[in-house]
Amino acid sequence: MDIESSLKKLFSLHTFGIKLGLDNIIGFLNHLGNPQQQLKTIHIAGSNGKGSTASFIASILQEFGFDVGLYTSPHFVKFNERIVINGFQIDDEYVSTFLTENEKYIDENQLTFFEVTTALAFQNFKDKKPDYCVIETGLGGRLDATNVLNPLATVITSISLEHTNVLGDTIEEITNEKAAIIKSGSKVFTGLLIKEASDIIVSKCKETNCELFQLKNFISNDLSEVRIFSDSLGIQLKSPLKGNYQKINASLASLTISKTFHLEEEHKYLAGITNVIKNTGLQGRYEYYNKRPTIIFDSAHNPDGIQNFLKEFEKEAYRYKRRVLIFGVMQDKSIVEMLKLISKFFDEIFLTKIQYERAAKPEYLKELCDQQNIPAKIIDNPVKLTRDFKANREDECLVVLGSMYLLGEIKEQILQSTS
């Protein structure tokens, strides 16, 4: 198969939806010779911040001279963004060859998109031999296809109510699902968790005899600066990504590397944080697509993420004569809570369709807005609105907010229209 046919085949596996359980991925990896067993990994879960934290970890390790594989999801524009080594995306030819060689097994066992993509990443990393691999979970942790690793370090960035139809409807249930990636002998690192979540992680680490490092014990955090300190590291964090929460993510990444690898050259930590976009291709984190007029892309996709975004956005919102929002999100999120938050900051809200089976339909979003007396309109062509906005409006601001799938669809179509 060529790359076009291969990706068409791969995306068709979304038909099988999300299958919670490890039997399929374990069987496929056995079929491949268990490539994951040859990888030195850092495994990352969390409700928010896991993609940014994973990218900071990979970038810092690159600055120390290591070759680093990075597996994240979803992609924005091109599938290959999910699997990179030192910022270079997996080759089209490798993707095509892998799918061609394993097509029969995939079909016979009805593997899902994420199961195949995860196995592809592990196989690619095994063949390309990076020194370390940073692996982000997909949904949850316990039954996530990535949960077949025995990592050097396990990172849990944050816990909030998400995917409640799958993971549980309490913080305790969701934490137990995500904490299941903790394996005996792994060092464990946690972000600034609430007490209910933290208590469960502490208990899990005792049960598995894991050394636990909680960021709250290594950080000073106020409104103006974030400092991380330990017996071998003491730096003030500055991040190219806007928002204090990104400094928290960078701090967690730095702590993970410091305590796992005992690397002490502070200037390389700072270089890794500063160069995270160049080193890893990170996108969609308070990303300025255009400056005059201002167009911002942000992948905040649950209430905690929305709050983090708005905390930063309110610093500049007053500058704009008018603030416009394009919004789309997955149906399993706390949508009403998100709508209440964003309604306070935008003069006009547009709801749009996302081409993904788990996406909330704009008609449903509109119904929720009506119930909350939030003025909103459905828009069929967000790309045209974005292009028109860029062409005509000087002192206004457009924010594209929500699912990465929404941001990716708009970005892809804009790129196609300008190429």
pLDDT of amino acid 222: 63
pLDDT of amino acid 141: 81
Mean pLDDT, residues 279-288: 92
Residues 123 and 66 in one domain: yes
Dihedral of alpha carbons 160, 156, 86, 144, sign? negative
What total number of domains does the chain contain? 2
Residues 267 and 292 in one domain: no
**Alpha-carbon gap, residue 40 to 413, rounded angstroms:** 37
- The residue with greater pLDDT, 408 or 235, is 408
pLDDT of amino acid 164: 43
Residues 215 and 245 in one domain: yes
**Alpha-carbon gap, residue 280 to 339, rounded angstroms:** 32
Residues 276 and 291 in one domain: no
Mean pLDDT, residues 275-298: 92
Percent of the chain at pLDDT > 70 equals: 93
Q: Which of 304, 310, 282, 285 lies closest to 296 in space, CA to CA?
A: 285
Residues 239 and 296 in one domain: no
Q: Which of 12-26, 140-154, 187-201, 345-359 has the lowest mean pLDDT?
A: 12-26
Dihedral of alpha carbons 244, 247, 249, 255, sign? negative
Averaged confidence pLDDT in the chain: 90
pLDDT above 70 for 335: yes
The stretches of 41-136 forming alpha helices (DSSP H) are: 50-63, 92-109, 113-128
pLDDT of amino acid 15: 58
We report the CATH number of the domain holding residue 136 as 3.40.1190.10
pLDDT of amino acid 161: 64
Beta pairing partners, 132: 68
Percent of the chain at pLDDT > 90 equals: 70
pLDDT above 80 for 40: yes
pLDDT of amino acid 232: 67
Write the DSSP symbol of residue 80. Answer: G
The stretches of 243-334 forming alpha helices (DSSP H) are: 244-261, 266-274, 276-280, 303-313
At 163, is the pLDDT very low, low, confident or very high (cuts 50, 70, 90)?
very low
Residues 164 and 194 in one domain: yes
Convert the pLDDT of each residue in 229-282 to its tens digit: 666 677 777 778 888 889 899 999 999 999 999 998 999 999 999 999 999 998
Do strands 88-89 and 219-221 pair parallel, antiparallel, or not at all (unpaired)?
unpaired
pLDDT above 60 for 331: yes
Residues 179 and 90 in one domain: yes
Residues 295 and 247 in one domain: no
pLDDT above 60 for 418: no
| Verdict on whether the full-model pTM lies above 0.95 | no
Residues 62 and 186 in one domain: yes
At 19, is the pLDDT very low, low, confident or very high (cuts 50, 70, 90)?
low
Q: Which of 254, 280, 306 is the last residue of a domain?
A: 280
We report the CATH number of the domain holding residue 324 as 3.90.190.20
Return all residues near 262 (Cβ < 8 A) that are at least 6 apart: 232
Q: Which of 232, 254, 280 is the last residue of a domain?
A: 280
- The residue with greater pLDDT, 271 or 223, is 271
For residue 344, give the 3-state DSSP assignment. Answer: coil
Residues 271 and 303 in one domain: no
Return all residues near 335 (Cβ < 8 A) that are at least 6 apart: 329, 360, 365, 368
What is the span of the domain harbouring residue 362? 287-418
pLDDT above 50 for 310: yes
Q: Which of 221, 243, 218, 248 lies closest to 233 in space, CA to CA?
A: 218
